Amino acid sequence: YFNFAVDSFVDAAHAVGWNVSPVHLRIVLPFGISFFTFETMSYTIDVYRREIPPAKRYLDYLLFVCFFPHLVAGPIVRPHQMLPQLAKKPEASDAHKAEGLFLIATGLMKKIMIGDTLAVNLVGRVFDNPERYSSFEILVAVYGYAIEIYADFSGYTDVAIGSAKLFGYELPKNFDLPYISQSLQEFWRRWHISLSTWLRDYLYIPLGGNRGSQAKTYRNLMLTMLLGGLWHGASRNFVIWGGLHGAGLAVNRYWSRRGGEKERDAAPSPLMRFVYTFATFHFVCFCCIFFRAPTFAHATLMLLRMGRLTFATTNLGPLAIAALALGFVTHFLPPRTHPTLRQRFVELPAVLQGAVLAACAYALHFAAGAKAQPFVYGQF
């Protein structure tokens, strides 16, 4: 963040004709430092507010912060969710272990078969060199990144939750089919739930939340999302991403107060549900351009080239299209599909469970590329 502030100052100085040389700090940050920071802050704040008692043992506190399944990319675990579990002996039943193995297997399949395939065969190529691609190919790549980041991040979360279950611990749910959301407010109730609730409880509400005038509420939404963008990294693109979501939430809230949401909830037709979901998904995709693009120049170039409305499909390989289609289909299945499959796996005999897991392992071996792709949120 120091280097980001310095670079911003230098750019402003150059804009007014000052010749200023930047001075950068060269340090190596710990892996997953943002998740460390949020969890230690939540503990300190909750103890200060007297919402929880301090941990009875220092080792309990260390395990709360350093519990390895969620260490790299969440979910962000709050002290009231984890410390009571650490105070008693963990118990992992056979059903919990089976559920954990199912989550690990399906999480890895989402990550490798969908997320990594899209990252290598479509998203990385287009976002890094948008000048080589048509408007349609860039649009497909934007859709691809929306599916990639969901498959990658929710896949990691599934692995984390499943691993914790093997040890007898429960981690909070972090995703709930976010792309079926009919509004941006609903999206943030379904996407990275542990982050959105953290920002709500420790930033938005202390700023005043929705108390006071509407102008202050919109200000609080904007500040919360701007800081949420900065949490992802010290970059102009992340600030823009946060600002877009803040503005979108403010508009969504204004529209809701005007009665639009009340009318929609009263008798939503299938057509209007589709329209709201379509609009929300495409707004999120638009914001994803700034989130994924290496630089602001790349993002603006992508938007400019999309505006030319050129059509070509020569660079869209069948593997990428298959992964994109698989991602959309699995995401937009009926909401009860995923829990039902998990429960049926748990109820299978141990031999059949092993056969299913072996088939998953074979599929993962077949789908894995020569070069492993890091988890997207491992960088934050």
Instruction: Please count the CA atoms within 13 angstroms of the CA of 35 that sit on its side-chain side.
Output: 23
User: What residues are labeled active site?
Assistant: 232
At residue 84, the pLDDT reads: 92
Determine phi and psi for 19, rounding to 5 degrees: -100, 100
Task: Return d(Cα 49, Cα 58) in angstroms, integer.
Answer: 20
Give the pLDDT of residue 374: 79
Going by the DSSP 8-state scheme, the letter that residue 167 receives in this structure is T
DSSP of 22-65: ------PPPTTHHHHHHHHHHHHHHHHTTSSPPPSSHHHHHHHH
Q: Report CA Rg, the chain.
A: 22
| Band of residue 312 on the pLDDT scale cut at 50, 70, 90 | very high
**Inter-residue contact 86 to 63 (CB < 8 Å):** yes
In this predicted model, what pLDDT tens digit does every residue of 237-294 receive, in sequence order? 999 999 999 999 999 999 888 765 555 556 678 899 999 999 999 999 999 999 999 9
- Weakest-pLDDT range from 70-79, 128-137, 172-181: 70-79
Q: How many CB atoms lie within 10 A of CB 93?
A: 10
SS3 5: helix
Place of tokens 């200023």: 20
What span, in angstroms and rounded, lies between the C-alpha atoms of 240 and 229? 8
Q: Is the dihedral of CA 25, 229, 327, 298 positive or negative?
A: negative
pLDDT at 164 over 80: yes
Backbone torsions φ then ψ of 119, nearest 5 degrees? -60, -45
Residue 124: partners with Cβ closer than 8 Å, 6 or more residues away? none
Q: Compute the distance between CA of residue 242 and CA of residue 232 in angstroms, rounded to an integer.
A: 9
**Residue partners of 173: CB distance under 8 A and separation at least 6:** 75, 161, 193
Q: pTM surpassing 0.85? A: yes
Query: Is the distance from CB of 311 to CB of 135 less than 8 angstroms?
Result: yes
Q: Where residue 347 falls among pLDDT bands split at 50, 70, 90? A: very high
Is residue 203 a contact partner of residue 41, using CB atoms and an 8 Å limit?
A: no
pLDDT, mean of residues 99-108: 96
Q: How far apart (Å, rounded) are the C-alpha atoms in residues 373 and 365?
A: 14
Length reported for the chain: 380
pLDDT of residue 13: 72
Listed residue (263, 247, 117, 140) closest to 184, CA to CA: 247
DSSP letters spanning 134-147: -HHHHHHHHHHHHH
* pLDDT at res. 19: 76
Does 184 have pLDDT greater than 90? yes
pLDDT of residue 380: 62
Question: Residue 146: pLDDT band by 50, 70, 90 thresholds?
Answer: very high
Average pLDDT, integer, range 157-186: 94
Residue 342 has pLDDT above 90, yes or no: yes
* Residues in Cβ contact with 361 at an 8 Å cutoff, skipping those fewer than 6 apart: 105
Q: What percent of the chain has pLDDT over 90?
A: 68
CA separation for the pair 140, 74 (Å, rounded): 28
Contact predicate 127/141, CB 8 Å: yes
- How confident is the model at residue 242, as a pLDDT? 96
